[in-house]
Structure 1
Amino acid sequence: MTLMTGGKAGEDWRGAWSAALDELELDVATIEAMLADEHRHAETPPASLWKPPTELGALPLELKPRADEILTRQLKAAQEIARRLTANRQQIAVTARIETGEAVKRPVYVDRAM
């Protein structure tokens, strides 16, 4: 693997990595916007799966803070999605009990002796 750091090749390398980070950041921004506006989710088509660029070599050191910030945002969005999925499951469980009227099955009888 050739490490490109100087001249035109170095600029192309940094530019390719910047473009890859732009694409990844746009995906995260789309997810963050959907999380902020729940109604928009139904109208938004599913995002295409991001694929890491090939043959770019190592990430340029000056782009590492940006890549770290994007990763932090991705992790935060993933945690929020997991939280909402859990809340949805809990809501479904409550709704299922309400619809049947039975949280726990137990015998029911009426004592008419009184």
Structure 2
Amino acid sequence: MSDGREWAASWASALDALELDVAWVEEALRAAHLPPADEVARLAAWVPPADLGPLPADLVVRAAALLDRQTHAARATVEAITRSRRHVAALDALRPHRGDVAVYVDTQA
């Protein structure tokens, strides 16, 4: 394999991995479920591939589409977090506050 084809193949492989990750996030958002902690940790521990060099021209459109998907997934994640926090706040507001309950019992009275 020539250096040019290896370089393009390395970039294609890197984009494949990123596309799988963003597809996983999109599915988690679509299903509206909490993913397993080990899966989240795996995605959070991502390390960019080293020595890829510049993006090959024939992969620019694919990379731009991937960036759009990642940006959309990031926004959707923020929106889901915001909704979740609002739900928690609403539930907390519905809980009865028992501020008039004695903290201790006076056995001398």
Higher CA-based Rg: 1
The reply to whether residue 68 of structure 1 matches residue 102 of structure 2 is: no
2:24 equivalent in structure 1: 30
Identity across the alignment (%): 35
Unaligned residue ranges in structure 2 (runs of 5+): 98-109
What are the residue-to-residue correspondences of 1:36-47 with 2, within 5 Å?
36-39=30-33, 41-42=35-36, 45-46=39-40, 47=42
TM-score w.r.t. the length of structure 2 is: 0.78
Q: Tell me the matched-pair count.
A: 96
1:18 equivalent in structure 2: 12
SS of match in other structure, 2:2: helix
2:85 equivalent in structure 1: 89
Q: Give the whole-Å Cα distance in 2 for the aligned partners of 1:84 and 1:35.
A: 8
RMSD: 2.2
TM-score w.r.t. the length of structure 1 is: 0.75
Are the structure 2 counterparts of residues 35 and 44 from structure 1 closer, same or farther at C-alpha, using a change threshold of 3 Å?
Answer: farther
Unaligned residue ranges in structure 1 (runs of 5+): 1-6, 102-114
Higher relative contact order (CA 8 A, sep 6+): 2
Report the alpha carbon displacement of residue 54 of structure 1 after superposing the two structures with TM: 1.0
